[in-house]
Amino acid sequence: MRVIGLFCAFVGSLPATANSFVPSTSHGSTNLPTNNEGTIKMTSDSNIEPVYAAKTVSAFDKYKKEHAQSIKSPSKYWGKLAREVLDWEVPFDSHRVLQGDLTNGDVRWFSGGKLNVAYNALDRHDPKKLAMIWEGDEPDDVRRITYGEMTNKVSQIANALKAKGVKKGQVVTIYMPMIPELAMTMLACARIGAVHSVVFAGFSSDALGSRIQAANSEVVVTADHGLRGSKRIPLKDIVNAAVEHVKDKDLVKHVLVWERNYEGPESEAPYEMNSNDVRMDILVDDQRPYCPPEPMEAEENLFILYTSGSTGLPKGLVHTTGGYALYAAHTTKTTFDLAPDDIFACVADCGWITGHSYVVYGPLLNGATTFMFESTPVYPDEGRYWDMVQRHKITQFYTAPTAIRLLMRYGEEAVQKYDLSSLKVLGTVGEPINPEAWRWYYEVVGKSKCTIVDTYWQTETGGHIVTNIPGVTPMKPGSCTLPFYGIDAVVLDPADGHVVEPDENGKAEGVMAVRQPWPGMARTCLGDHARYKTVYLKPYPGYYFTGDSVMRDEEGNHFIIGRVDDIINVSGHRIGTAEVESALVAHPAVAQAAVVGRPHDLKGQSIAAFCMLRKGYEESPELLTELKMNVRHEVGAFCSPDLIVVSPTLPMTRSGKIMRRILRKIVCGETDSLGDISTLADPSIVDTLIEKVGKK
């Protein structure tokens, strides 16, 4: 089964000890954690019973009941919450809470209702309360911004966007470092009904240019530079190159530039200004600090976010106003057990969905104080996260397994120096967390007192769809556990699409799907609804297909195994093979390329590329460096392959289809289970590649 083929991608770093949760065979017999591990107390049914989750029994029963009700009557469940959680300018129709379905791909939530997300995230909260604590690259570079200040500033930015001709429904591309102005520009778009498209500032100018073009975006907002670990990233220069790259030369009307060290309108711009560039600080300073929030239909677009698919160009996933806002708010509050005075820290970048939902929208819609972080976990040293927790008294801390694995390497001392007693909930997202990292997070960071929430979700889902809930549902290392309210999670047989019944041990294995719509789901791909349906709804009619394989245990806990498509997950970054391959073949030496993921101790997966050269070119260290540079240049440094194998040909079927499955097995070292290779045009290539990879 293809599902299992990818499994190697995630277990490379996991020791196959008897008490590891990792399935011991590729067909998934699972050894659950035993009860003699460290300080984690297990109940007889091998669930973890941390101090923080002590009230589980009755709360767990309540969850089961509420979850069942939310599935049975989604309109009732979400309708009630939508009225409680959000302020509506025009109430939605009670009989049209949910319309459409997954079969037709015409899902609509809260029809008839109008609201503004920026108003909900800002104006309605106590203006004196801290909306955001921001910490820049240097630990002493801290800003504290109240709700009142942020409301005014967002209004000024909104007026500035309007002054430059931005209208409701237009896409504004944002390419910025993690500074408060990034969040505020997103909210300013939401305030006037413009649709933001944040592009992660690690993407190259070419990748940015194609996203500007694909979204038909006339306005780009950037900053002069970003900072990461004292390195200066010249964002404005990258945007200049991106604008050059945009095919439609007249498309971009304005580039608006935030200046990091703005010194007033008289100061000279410390970067190259083109004729259509505008200095954002000067423009914003001139604006009135009030901009009426645009009442938006619940189903009007809030933002798009490009994400990699298995084929072709990245898809611009569309999230709409009412449903997304409700889902981001409700999951933040519930999964993180958010209380009014909490300092909520999600250290993801706003260039990804995690930053959208859990740095900006979720916390602010709840009126919480969100913590925004510009730098890296190891700058100026490996204690940075914990130092921040101590200094800002952070209560929830949300990061990715790759960061935890990295920090584990520095030992416990780097954590123990700090007072982490403010912490209540520790979150993880982006990839499966291996039990060693889970335990370290739980014991060393959380002192066995915090709840670890392993949140499984995707750009497409808008917010968590499978996660444990502090004090409500039990934790299990390595498992994202149980579906969130309103999520009808099912395991499907990839071969025939039927719901997999539990086997004699109560386990079910297959692909992960959802049986009914939820408010946070992306509604379409920008300008290409057919693609949306093809990728998510058609593979298993009647279901939303996640693209992940999963094992569900006898208690209903989900263990995500990995992608079943050609998406690679490097350090929690989602990378499409097609993008990297097209960057490689853009080099004149490369005739054809195939890219696969392989296990990596720190990053989860790394990229391995197989390249077939054109006549007249030969392998050399210089060429390999050039190929890596091509990927950096065309997509971004975070997509650079760790391994490039020059190959006389690629394993192709007679009809010319590259069999990545075989390449994956080769880089995973699983050469004794290659499966049927007789369909290859030239089966002898397999031995050649095994030998070549072995030598690397």
- Name residues contacting ligand PRX, limited to 405-464 (CB under 6 A): 429-432, 454-459
User: Exactly one of 185, 321, 354, 640 binds ligand PRX (CB under 6 A); which one?
Assistant: 354
**Interface with ligand PRX, residue 557, by CB under 6 A:** no
Would strands 296-297 and 277-279 be described as parallel, antiparallel, or unpaired?
A: unpaired
Q: Residue 337, SS3? A: coil
Nearer to ligand PRX, 354 or 577 (CB): 354
* Least distance between ligand PRX and beta carbon 480 (Å): 5
Nearer to ligand PRX, 318 or 480 (CB): 480
* Least distance between ligand PRX and beta carbon 436 (Å): 15
Q: Binding mask 284-313 vs ligand PRX (x if CB under 6 A, - otherwise)? A: -----------------------x------
Nearest to 169 by CA among 206, 150, 136, 197: 197
Residue reference for tokens 């369909």: 679
Dihedral through CA 370, CA 375, CA 377, CA 381, nearest 10?
A: -130
Q: Which two tokens stand for residue 438?
A: 């889970």
**Interface with ligand PRX, residue 574, by CB under 6 A:** yes
Nearest to 483 by CA among 433, 558, 427: 558
Nearer to ligand PRX, 119 or 456 (CB): 456
**Interface with ligand PRX, residue 605, by CB under 6 A:** no
Nearer to ligand PRX, 184 or 560 (CB): 560
Nearest to 264 by CA among 242, 243, 286: 286
Which range binds ligand PRX by CB under 6 A, 64-72, 148-156, 259-267, 347-355?
A: 347-355
Which range binds ligand PRX by CB under 6 A, 99-107, 158-166, 350-358, 616-624?
A: 350-358
Helix, strand and coil content of the chain, in percent to the nearest 5, comes to 35, 25, 45
- Cβ of 505: how many Cβ atoms within 10 Å? 10
C-alpha pair distances (Å), 307 with each of 29, 322, 530: 33, 22, 16
**Interface with ligand PRX, residue 547, by CB under 6 A:** yes
Instruction: Report how far residue 196's alpha carbon sits from residue 527's, in angstroms, rounded to the nearest whole number.
Output: 15
User: Exactly one of 192, 353, 525, 662 binds ligand PRX (CB under 6 A); which one?
Assistant: 353
Dihedral through CA 32, CA 38, CA 41, CA 47, nearest 10?
A: -20
* Least distance between ligand PRX and beta carbon 232 (Å): 27
User: Exactly one of 546, 549, 640, 647 binds ligand PRX (CB under 6 A); which one?
Assistant: 546
- Applying CB under 6 A, the site for ligand PRX has a residue count of 22
Q: Which two tokens stand for residue 434?
A: 């291996």
Nearer to ligand PRX, 560 or 644 (CB): 560
Where do the H-state alpha helices sit in 215-278?
Answer: 235-245
Nearest to 558 by CA among 494, 473, 675, 638: 473
Which range binds ligand PRX by CB under 6 A, 220-228, 352-360, 377-385, 402-410?
A: 352-360
* Least distance between ligand PRX and beta carbon 608 (Å): 18
C-alpha 206, offset from chain centre? 21
389: CB partners within 8 A, 6+ apart: 345, 397, 418, 420, 422, 423
**Interface with ligand PRX, residue 486, by CB under 6 A:** no
Nearer to ligand PRX, 353 or 693 (CB): 353
User: Exactly one of 279, 523, 563, 665 binds ligand PRX (CB under 6 A); which one?
Assistant: 563
Nearer to ligand PRX, 134 or 438 (CB): 438
Instruction: Report how far residue 307's alpha carbon sits from residue 323's, in angstroms, rounded to the nearest whole number.
Output: 20
* Least distance between ligand PRX and beta carbon 288 (Å): 37
Which residues contribute to the site for ligand PRX (CB under 6 A)?
307, 352-354, 429-432, 454-459, 480, 546-548, 560, 563, 569, 574
